[in-house]
């Protein structure tokens, strides 16, 4: 399993939300490029970039920052937030994303599950299955669907999706620790899918728990910004299995 630091963006600045609530945000002084360079300098290779403006408004708003980070670093960046048109996927890939996270449209327009794979290929896409009280949430986590995570993931598997991010919304941004049992059933049931987990990471122990649950990768954001986990610690964690 690899640990991937996250940068969440609002109005071009690095922020963190509490449980996805836009009225509970904390802003940081680091610029996105400063943070990305620090990630790279620590020896990390991946970055998770979240366009919160896009997630809220339904249209990517921070593609120029994605392009800036992709141009000035060698990081492998996955990008998401506000991807509501097929053209948005293409624009994000053109701006330098290695993969694009898609959530809302996969569950409000199910034909996208097949169309995205056909047009872009499974290696360029990540399905975002964000879970709130057992059900998949969409539109920047502001609206709940009637789908359970298992229903959503089963459908994605049938259509050829290989990467799925699964977020425990109730823990996201809280740094209260993760619940490995939240992830383990999905990793066990769908071994062909590479699961990327997130929500509540507070320490290296949490990352070891997520690794034990069978995840492909884990996302951590606030724990890094708050200094609970250093970037060097993440890099050392990633080298353990090399």
SS3 label, residue 179? coil
> What residues act catalytically?
8, 130
Cα–Cα dist 223/47, whole Å: 15
- Report the distance separating Cα 104 and Cα 86, nearest Å: 12
Please provide residue 141's backbone torsions phi and psi, each rounded to the nearest 5 degrees.
Answer: 70, 15
Give the whole-angstrom CA distance, residue 207 versus residue 240: 12
Question: Whats the size of the chain, residue-wise?
Answer: 242
Look-up of token digits 């991937």 = 4
Asked whether the beta carbons of 94 and 66 are under 8 A apart, the reply is no
């Amino acid at each position: 399993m690899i640990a991937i630091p996250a940068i969440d963006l609002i109005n071009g600045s690095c922020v963190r939300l509490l449980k996805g609530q836009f009225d509970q945000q904390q802003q940081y002084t680091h610029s996105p490029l400063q943070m990305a360079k620090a990630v790279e300098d620590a020896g990390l290779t991946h970055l998770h970039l979240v366009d919160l403006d896009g997630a809220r408004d339904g249209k990517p708003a921070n593609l120029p920052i994605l392009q800036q980070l992709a141009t000035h670093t060698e990081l492998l960046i996955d990008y998401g937030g506000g991807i509501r048109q097929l053209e948005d996927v293409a624009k994000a890939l053109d701006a330098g994303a290695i993969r694009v996270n898609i959530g809302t449209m996969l569950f409000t327009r199910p034909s996208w599950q097949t169309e995205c794979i056909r047009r872009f290929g499974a290696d360029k896409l990540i399905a975002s299955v964000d879970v709130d009280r057992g059900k998949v949430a969409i539109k920047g986590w502001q609206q709940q669907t009637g789908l359970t995570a298992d229903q959503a993931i089963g459908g994605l598997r049938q259509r050829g999706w290989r990467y799925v991010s699964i977020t425990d919304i109730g823990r996201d941004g809280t740094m209260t620790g993760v619940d490995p049992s939240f992830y383990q059933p999905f990793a066990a049931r769908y071994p062909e899918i590479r699961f990327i987990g997130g929500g509540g990471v507070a320490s290296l122990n949490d990352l070891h728990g997520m690794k034990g649950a069978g995840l492909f990768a884990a996302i951590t954001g606030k724990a890094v910004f708050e200094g609970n986990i250093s970037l060097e610690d993440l890099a050392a964690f990633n080298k353990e299995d090399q």
